Structure 1
Amino acid sequence: MANRNNAILESLGSGLIGAGVLTALHETARHLIDEAPRADLLGMRAIQKVMEKTDAEPPDDRELHTWALGGDLVSNALYYSLIGLTKPRHALLAGAALGLAAGAGAVGLPGPLGLGTEPTRRTTATAAMTVGWYLIGGLAAAGAYAFFKKRRKNAE
């Protein structure tokens, strides 16, 4: 049971590291690069849409931004924690696949979901950064997962 709990914590921790790296990239770049993706705007729009559908009043933009970042961290951490379904020797490939799939979704899905295409597809550079940063998040999750597994194996 302890090993199973450790495996779950390793997966969740790895996912959180990947999500943290991704969020740090997004938040830093949006202040420094004109064409940077704006995942925060997608999150804010999604929250606003849900709140409006339920006749709830969305908070002001500052609080909405905070909610969006929190939602991004939680959802991306859970997504990247899927790295725990692979063997450590396949972590890099799995992390890359998770990152590329998330990046492709972040570029392709917002339009059909009614969230707009500008935040992640405004220019070719914006789309490339979007995919690249989700890939980096997946690779960070993979690196953390391999590290946690190796550390546990060495401790046993």
Structure 2
Amino acid sequence: MSKIKNIVAGLGGAIALNLLHESLKRKDKDMPRVDVLGEEALQKSLNYFGMSITNEDTLYRATLAGDIISNALYYATIGNGGPQNVFPRALAYGLAAGVGAITLPEPLGLDEKPVTKTNKTKALTVGYYLFGALITAAIIKAVSKNESIK
């Protein structure tokens, strides 16, 4: 499978992840708030360079765009090695991303609470990233199936 197709599949997984997160983030007090964590990370990064985003809508949009792009590129690597064993790779990548999302904020100097508030929050955070990875794998598999039909 080509790198472009992997990126498109990764983009599909990243969009699915963000749609899931955005649709559920205010349903319950224990829902993960990956957006809040991302906004803090972006502001701290900008502050390091002497910049900041003061408009909340702009901060939200910039964070969302960065999240989609970075997750798309990460998920695109699931396609490396072709369609065989794509689902085991997706499981590994999804779990790695989810576990990273709940374990890396504190060492990076970020507030971990938005993704670690409760055990439910932690499990859902990992589940969201796993969901995006599995959607990516499904797209890769579907595109590969179409290619083999031609």
Q: TM-score, normalised by structure 1?
A: 0.92
| 1:60-103 per-position Cα deviation (integer Å, ceiling 9, x unaligned) | 11210111110000000000000121231201111111100000
Q: 1: distance between equivalents of 2:55 and 2:34?
A: 18
Equivalent residues of 1:37, 1:129 under 8 A apart:
yes
Runs ≥4 in structure 1, deviation > 4 angstroms?
A: none
Task: Structure 1 unaligned segments of length 5 or more: list them.
Answer: 1-5
Q: Paired residue for 1:100?
A: 95
Q: Which has the higher helix share?
A: 1
2:123 counterpart (111, 123, 128): 128
Q: TM-score, normalised by structure 2?
A: 0.96
1:20 counterpart (11, 15, 22): 15
Q: Percent identity?
A: 37
Equivalent residues of 1:19, 1:80 under 8 A apart:
yes
RMSD, matched Cα: 1.1
Q: 1: distance between equivalents of 2:41 and 2:112?
A: 13
Equivalent residues of 1:58, 1:64 under 8 A apart:
yes
Task: Structure 2 unaligned segments of length 5 or more: list them.
Answer: none
SS of 1:88 mapped into structure 2: coil
